[in-house]
A and B are shown apart, each in its own frame.
Chain A
Amino acid sequence: MKPASFDFLCPETLEEALAALAEGGGEARVIAGGQSLVPMLNMRLARPGLLVDIMRLDPLRKIETSGDEIVVGAGVRQAELEAQPDLSQHLPLLAAAFPWLGHVQTRARGTVCGSVAHADPSAELPLALVTLGGTVSLRSRSRRRKVKADDFFIGMMATDLAEDEMIESVHFPKARPGWGCSFREIGRRHGDFAIVACAAIADDDGLRLGIAGVDDRPRVCRLPALDNDQFDDAINDIAWSLNARDDIHASARYRRELVRSLGREALKEASRCRT
């Protein structure tokens, strides 16, 4: 349970970091808080030749409001976003999800973008980002691009990130008037990865339900109104569409049941708390 050896780079500018990624040929990995990467290193599931430490790059350590989005830089720790005084006003879904997101002890070090880059299929931050319809800003030495969160996650711990790219920031759309949300989760221990987590949003466009822990990436879908007699069939269809599998934590059947029950509860609460 010790990492294999690697070179370690402490760049002083973002350009230096991007150059190292471009020249690393897939051997270079970004390290930020390390709360997802270091377990992978310890278990030798990851054996990068070079780690690029981005936590000393001040331009990445910013939380900014840009129009109707909150932009969170790659160096922002989860606890820093959680402590934003207006979080529950602008990002109530994240405020509801934070208590479930790892433990106090991992949020103190782990970054928001790091969790997104790790792309664990049961992680709360990717789920919230996909459900909100957020975007991911990617940067390499030669180009910049923005990807919709739903397109960024492509499978179990797999993303659209190229070898020479890093996440520069993630963009969370702010809550709008007339909007309600809710977050529900079942896990073995509070703060552990979810067996199933549901994020719900209710607005004038209807109901949106995001689900993590079932398919190989967070999924989001639209549902008819709760009092519509099509609702039960619709949420049941969703539960069956997510390729639920049996594993050591829960059976596929239990996961489908959690999608139906937690999903309904979350949508009910989101509808009730519309502002």
Chain B
Amino acid sequence: MPHLNAAQRHLVHFTLNGRMVRAEVENRMLLSDLLRHEIGLTGTHVGCEHGVCGACTVQIDGKPARACLTLAQQIRGSNIRTVEALVTDPAVLSPLQAAFRHHHGLQCGFCTPGILMSLDALLRERPDAGRKEIREHLSGHLCRCTGYATIIEAALDAAEEQRKEETPNA
């Protein structure tokens, strides 16, 4: 029965954006801080640190979740995806990101990585997602710039693009 002492760092293994990661962390280390400050993936933003704003949203085993409400110790063996996983070539935006750009779905960009990870999970699970589902997923995020309307338009557009790609003969 592993009892992990508070005074020491302890090893955690997990998959991050397709690669195995080993990290030595204190028990009190949050996933958001591990990603940003230890691993250096600064795409995951840290806002309120109590689960309200949604800026730190990442995918844990395919589901969108708050990195600031997750202890690094809780993700042993899990599969984590961050906004950095959306593109393979840094020069080319993913279809969802391109739709955000086209529709002005962001201004300051602070909330954007979290929103992208929620919407990416939604569109993977529900390619037929409409305005209602998109609005429900967005309710877990705060954006102080856009008023959300352009984000919803971007998401609807990306969903439609995705459906076209999946049924090329339709």
Contact = CB atoms under 8 A, between A and B. Distances in A.
Interface of A: 1-12, 16, 31, 34-35, 38-39, 41-43, 49, 51, 53, 55, 79, 99, 103-106, 108-109, 189-192
Given A104-B64, A104-B137, A109-B65, A38 B51 contact: yes
A108 B3 contact: no
Nearest to A17: B1
Tell which of A1, A104, A109 has the most Cβ of chain B within 10 Å.
A104
B63 A34 contact: no
B97 interface: no
Interface residues of B, number: 36
B15 interface: no
A9 B26 contact: no
Given A2-B33, A9-B4, A103 B50 contact: no
B44 interface: no
A55 to B, nearest CB: 7
Interface in B36-79: 49-52, 54, 57, 60, 63-66, 68-71, 73-74
Identify the 7 closest CB pairs spanning chains A and B, nearest first.
A103-B140, A108-B63, A1-B49, A39-B50, A8-B27, A5-B6, A8-B4
B1 A12 contact: yes
A105 B2 contact: no
Contacts of B1: 9-12, 16
Contacts of A38: 30, 51, 68-71
Given A9-B4, A39-B50, A105 B66 contact: yes
Interface of B: 1-7, 10, 26-28, 30, 33, 49-52, 54, 57, 60, 63-66, 68-71, 73-74, 118, 122, 136-137, 139-140
Contacts of B51: 35, 38-39, 106
Contacts of A12: 1
B74 A34 contact: yes
Contact of A108 (B4, B50, B64): B64
Given A2-B33, A55-B74, A105-B118, A7 B28 contact: no
30 contacts: A1-B50, A2-B49, A3-B30, A5-B7, A5-B27, A8-B4, A8-B6, A9-B3, A12-B1, A16-B1, A34-B70, A35-B51, A35-B69, A38-B71, A39-B50, A39-B51, A41-B28, A42-B49, A49-B6, A51-B27, A53-B74, A99-B136, A103-B54, A104-B122, A105-B64, A105-B118, A106-B65, A108-B60, A189-B139, A190-B139
